[in-house]
Chain A
Amino acid sequence: GAVVSQHPSWVICKSGTSVKIECRSLDFQATTMFWYRQFPKQSLMLMATSNEGSKATYEQGVEKDKFLINHASLTLSTLTVTSAHPEDSSFYICSARYTQGPMNYGYTFGSGTRLTVV
Chain B
Amino acid sequence: DAKTTQPPSMDCAEGRAANLPCNHSTISGNEYVYWYRQIHSQGPQYIIHGLKNNETNEMASLIITEDRKSSTLILPHATLRDTAVYYCIVREGGTSYGKLTFGQGTILTVHP
Contact = CB atoms under 8 A, between A and B. Distances in A.
A46 B101 contact: yes
B43 A110 contact: yes
A107 B42 contact: no
Interface string A49-63: 101000001000000
Given A103-B30, A104-B32, A97 B98 contact: yes
Interface of B is mostly: loop
B68 interface: no
B41 interface: yes
Interface in A76-106: 91, 93, 95, 97, 103-106
Contacts of A116: none
Interface range for A:
20 to 34
Contact of A105 (B36, B91, B105): B91
A93 B43 contact: yes
Contacts of B42: 111-112
B97 A43 contact: no
B96 to A, nearest CB: 8
Contacts of A36: 102
Contacts of B91: 105
Contacts of B38: 44
B100 A95 contact: yes
Contacts of A107: 34, 46, 100
A95 B34 CA distance: 14
Given A43-B103, A43-B105, A106 B97 contact: no
Contacts of B102: 36, 43-46
Contacts of B43: 6, 93, 95, 109-112
**What 5 A-B pairs are tightest by C-beta distance, nearest first?**
A109-B43, A44-B102, A43-B102, A109-B44, A111-B43
25 contacts: A32-B97, A43-B103, A43-B105, A44-B38, A44-B102, A46-B100, A49-B96, A49-B97, A49-B99, A51-B97, A91-B41, A93-B43, A93-B44, A95-B43, A95-B44, A95-B100, A104-B32, A105-B91, A105-B98, A106-B49, A107-B34, A107-B46, A107-B100, A109-B44, A109-B46
